[in-house]
Amino acid sequence: MCGIVGYVGSKNAKEKIISGLKSLEYRGYDSAGIAIPINGSVDVRKCVGGIDNLEKIIDDINYDGAVGIGHTRWATHGAPSVINAHPHINASGDIAVVHNGIIENYTEIKEWLVDSYGIEFKSETDTEVIAHLIGVYYDGDLHEAVNRAVKKMRGAYAIAAIAANEPDKIVAVRKDAPLVAGLGKGFNFVASDIPAVLKYVREIYLIENNETLVITKDDVKIFDKDGKTVKRDVFHVTWDVDAAEKGGYEHFMIKEIHEQPDGIKDTLNKRVDKDGNIMLDDIKLTAEDVAGFNRVYIVACGTAYHAGLIGKYTIEKFAGIPVEVDVASEFRYRDPFVDDKTLFIAISQSGETLDTLAALREAKSKGARILSVVNVVGSSVARESDDVFYTWAGPEISVASTKAYTTQLACMYLLSLYIGKLNGHISDNYYNEIIDALRDIPEKVQEILDRKSVVEKLANTFYKKEKIFFVGRGTDTVASKEGSLKLKEISYINSFAIAAGELKHGTIALIDEETLLFALATQDRLFEKMVSNVEEIKARGARVIAIAKEGNEQIAEKSDEVIFIPQAIDEVMPLLAIVPLQLFAYYVSKNRGCNVDKPKNLAKSVTVE
Ligand code: M6R
């Protein structure tokens, strides 16, 4: 992952780069650095930690210029350290490079550089080979040297390079890692993502794979892999930079949890007319296409994978097509049965998750129809899909995904109903019942948020527990998995989730007096069985918090605590059941003094395999 920012203008490069890097910290934040050509050499400053630390080591007045590159890192090759932080420089120290991605053949290149040029490496990173490669090819033309270096490299990368002898330009390249150019008047940017430049520009070039950029203050030239000039349409960003800031909340996570009613409402209202018809403008599926599908694959990672698991329930139920759901990192290594009768659905908030992108490409190469559910407009997953269903959740900054998840769920409901209508599987009455239930969801999510103090009190009571487990049946199993993921990723508490019926086949051995267990019981048809499961768990001494629909008092008698959530039909409960679990994870993390928005070892956008 990692974030890169480059600026070319007339002055204040330092300020612009720092501002951009701050907006990219969601891509990684274990170390950071900046390089600016000053007085005929490249001055590089690096530190461990986030951009706040970087600011402290560049605050001297002599450190600034018209051009520069910066980086925020999430370690892959080599531990987070000053030496391993980017930018990396060549042997003579006059070329600096920042990089996002992985150079797969870096060992081979390194050996070649050592044997042929006697180069001494300082860091453990793969990136350092890029700086040296450009260095050995450089004879006054940075663009040419970068082109030659790229020909030797395999892997996924976005790179930005500067040279002391050409202090008026940045050369950048993209291959399988995101890159955009921001277009100003008398200045230009290059960056990993749009928020990095939004404070200064709204006109963007979305860069494609294997394209090289030469950026000067008055021009951004794009070249394809054969060196031909590419003409690119300008993409105008309409969303506001304020949308990416905290807006009075203590953390991005709690802000984003509170944005869910609006996010779900936007996703639904803009696609469903007053008569309940679903209009999906970016999806060109016809009844004939749908009749030709014999299976659906849903592939994603982490939270998006959980949205896929709910998608299995909804597509099978509303559209009657068999669905397989896979984590993206597994999918492409197991020879899946994908062909031109397959509908392949990729779900991704960022649209840049490398495993998801690679799975998508694998399915595409086998002839599948590719439909993606994506939040970031113009992201790689979106661009490589036949059809795109945007979640329109707005920028999600907190590493722990919340509003992206519930809007992904909303999309899966609409998509399943849409396909069910196209193939005639769903009856009109049932279709209308689901649409009506979905329309009420934003208000019901708001009700849960209005009563968040109930969840906060429970978190204040139980935050010191070291074992917190989650069980449920049917779609509650999925909500359990997502609740458990939220808790472990931001609180570092040992947690798992399991289908309640499976508990007694082994895992119940872990339950004792020290355990706190969430029992999700929001499915009416499985309610009695969940009540029995709660009795089994209580008999082993665990403390139980149940999540149940209002009015289901029976479970209150059996458990220690209950969080009641509004009544709705079973089918749409996944949109409600997850909300108290998101809140619980948030308040526990806060109580434990963890870094809520930037948990350790994680990054928002995982663009490495
Ligand atoms: O951007 P994506 O939706 O493709 O990201 C997938 C996962 O990395 C992501 O959902 C991750 O699991 C979240 N941190 C969970 O909160």
User: How much is the pLDDT for 77?
Assistant: 76
Rounded to the nearest angstrom, the gap between the alpha carbon of residue 399 and the centroid of all alpha carbons in its chain is: 8
User: Mind listing the pLDDT tens digit for each residue in 425-473?
Assistant: 999 999 999 999 999 999 999 999 999 999 999 999 999 999 999 999 9
Average pLDDT, the chain: 93
User: Mind listing the pLDDT tens digit for each residue in 585-603?
Assistant: 999 999 999 999 988 877 7
**Has residue 248 got a pLDDT over 80?**
no
Q: What percent of the chain has pLDDT over 90?
A: 79
Q: Whose CA is nearest to atom 7 of ligand 1?
A: 302
Look at residues 565, 582, 466, 483 and name the one whose alpha carbon lies nearest to residue 523: 565
What distance in Å separates the CA atoms of residue 53 and residue 32, rounded to the nearest whole number? 8
Question: Which ligand 1 atom lies nearest to the CA of residue 301?
Answer: 6
What distance in Å separates the CA atoms of residue 316 and residue 323, rounded to the nearest whole number? 7
Q: Whose CA is nearest to atom 4 of ligand 1?
A: 348
Expressed in angstroms and rounded, the spacing between residue 180 Cα and the centre of ligand 1 is: 21
Length of the chain in terms of residues written = 609
201 touches 182 (CB < 8 A) = yes
Expressed in angstroms and rounded, the spacing between residue 349 Cα and the centre of ligand 1 is: 7
Pocket of ligand 1 (CB under 6 A): 301-304, 348-350, 353, 356, 399-401, 485, 489, 605-606
Greater confidence, 397 or 6?
6
User: How much is the pLDDT for 566?
Assistant: 98
Encoding tokens for residue 207?
A: 């860069």
User: How much is the pLDDT for 333?
Assistant: 85
Question: Which ligand 1 atom lies nearest to the CA of residue 605?
Answer: 1
Pocket test for ligand 1, best of 327, 350, 488 (most atoms within 8 A of CB): 350
Phi, psi (5° rounding) for residue 445? -65, -40
**Has residue 379 got a pLDDT over 90?**
no
User: How much is the pLDDT for 282?
Assistant: 81
Expressed in angstroms and rounded, the spacing between residue 308 Cα and the centre of ligand 1 is: 12
Encoding tokens for residue 390?
A: 């945007």
User: How much is the pLDDT for 606?
Assistant: 73
What distance in Å separates the CA atoms of residue 220 and residue 170, rounded to the nearest whole number? 10
User: Mind listing the pLDDT tens digit for each residue in 284-338?
Assistant: 999 999 999 999 999 999 999 999 999 999 999 999 999 999 999 999 888 889 9
CA pseudo-torsion sign 498, 501, 506, 509? positive
Question: Which ligand 1 atom lies nearest to the CA of residue 381?
Answer: 4
User: How much is the pLDDT for 400?
Assistant: 97
What distance in Å separates the CA atoms of residue 174 and residue 223, rounded to the nearest whole number? 11
Q: Whose CA is nearest to atom 6 of ligand 1?
A: 301
**Has residue 244 got a pLDDT over 70?**
no
Q: Whose CA is nearest to atom 10 of ligand 1?
A: 303
**Has residue 156 got a pLDDT over 90?**
no
Which residues sit opposite 348 in a β-bridge? 374
Secondary structure (3-state) at 471: strand
Reported as a pLDDT band with limits 50, 70 and 90, residue 243 is low
The stretch 513-532 carries a mean pLDDT of 93
Alpha helices in 206-332 (DSSP H): 252-258, 260-269, 287-291, 302-319, 328-331
Q: Whose CA is nearest to atom 12 of ligand 1?
A: 302
- Beta-sheet strands, E only, within 452-542: 468-472, 497-499, 516-521
Output the CA torsion 318→322→325→328 (10° steps).
-120
CB atoms within 10 A of CB 104: 14
Question: Which ligand 1 atom lies nearest to the CA of residue 604?
Answer: 14
Would you name the residues annotated as active-site residues? 2, 604
Expressed in angstroms and rounded, the spacing between residue 526 Cα and the centre of ligand 1 is: 30
Expressed in angstroms and rounded, the spacing between residue 405 Cα and the centre of ligand 1 is: 9
CB atoms within 10 A of CB 202: 18
User: Mind listing the pLDDT tens digit for each residue in 487-516?
Assistant: 999 999 999 999 999 988 988 888 899 999
Q: Mind giving me the DSSP string for 191-222?
A: ESSGGGTTTT--EEEEPPTTEEEEE-SS-EEE
DSSP structure class, residue 234? P
375 touches 396 (CB < 8 A) = yes
Look at residues 432, 409, 410 and name the one whose alpha carbon lies nearest to residue 420: 432
Q: Whose CA is nearest to atom 8 of ligand 1?
A: 302
Q: Whose CA is nearest to atom 11 of ligand 1?
A: 302
What distance in Å separates the CA atoms of residue 403 and residue 391, rounded to the nearest whole number? 10
User: Mind listing the pLDDT tens digit for each residue in 71-98?
Assistant: 999 777 777 899 999 999 999 999 999 9
CA pseudo-torsion sign 133, 607, 603, 267? positive
Reported as a pLDDT band with limits 50, 70 and 90, residue 247 is low
Greater confidence, 150 or 101?
150
Q: Whose CA is nearest to atom 14 of ligand 1?
A: 400
CA pseudo-torsion sign 491, 495, 497, 501? negative
Encoding tokens for residue 197?
A: 């430049």
What distance in Å separates the CA atoms of residue 444 and residue 433, rounded to the nearest whole number? 16
Expressed in angstroms and rounded, the spacing between residue 604 Cα and the centre of ligand 1 is: 7
Reported as a pLDDT band with limits 50, 70 and 90, residue 539 is confident
The stretch 127-148 carries a mean pLDDT of 97
User: How much is the pLDDT for 438?
Assistant: 98
238 touches 198 (CB < 8 A) = no
Expressed in angstroms and rounded, the spacing between residue 47 Cα and the centre of ligand 1 is: 27
Measured CA to CA in angstroms, residue 2 lies from 64, 151, 229, 330, 515 at distances of 23, 23, 28, 24, 37
Question: Which ligand 1 atom lies nearest to the CA of residue 404?
Answer: 3
User: How much is the pLDDT for 1?
Assistant: 63
Phi, psi (5° rounding) for residue 286? -110, 170
User: Mind listing the pLDDT tens digit for each residue in 330-369?
Assistant: 998 888 899 999 999 999 999 999 999 999 999 999 999 9
What distance in Å separates the CA atoms of residue 72 and residue 27, rounded to the nearest whole number? 7
The stretch 191-196 carries a mean pLDDT of 91
Measured CA to CA in angstroms, residue 337 lies from 294, 316, 344 at distances of 11, 18, 11
Expressed in angstroms and rounded, the spacing between residue 383 Cα and the centre of ligand 1 is: 19
Question: Which ligand 1 atom lies nearest to the CA of residue 353?
Answer: 4
User: Mind listing the pLDDT tens digit for each residue in 30-54?
Assistant: 899 999 999 889 999 999 988 999 9
Question: Which ligand 1 atom lies nearest to the CA of residue 405?
Answer: 10
518 touches 547 (CB < 8 A) = yes
The stretch 398-404 carries a mean pLDDT of 96
Expressed in angstroms and rounded, the spacing between residue 413 Cα and the centre of ligand 1 is: 20
Pocket test for ligand 1, best of 301, 360, 376 (most atoms within 8 A of CB): 301
Pocket test for ligand 1, best of 256, 329, 345, 349 (most atoms within 8 A of CB): 349
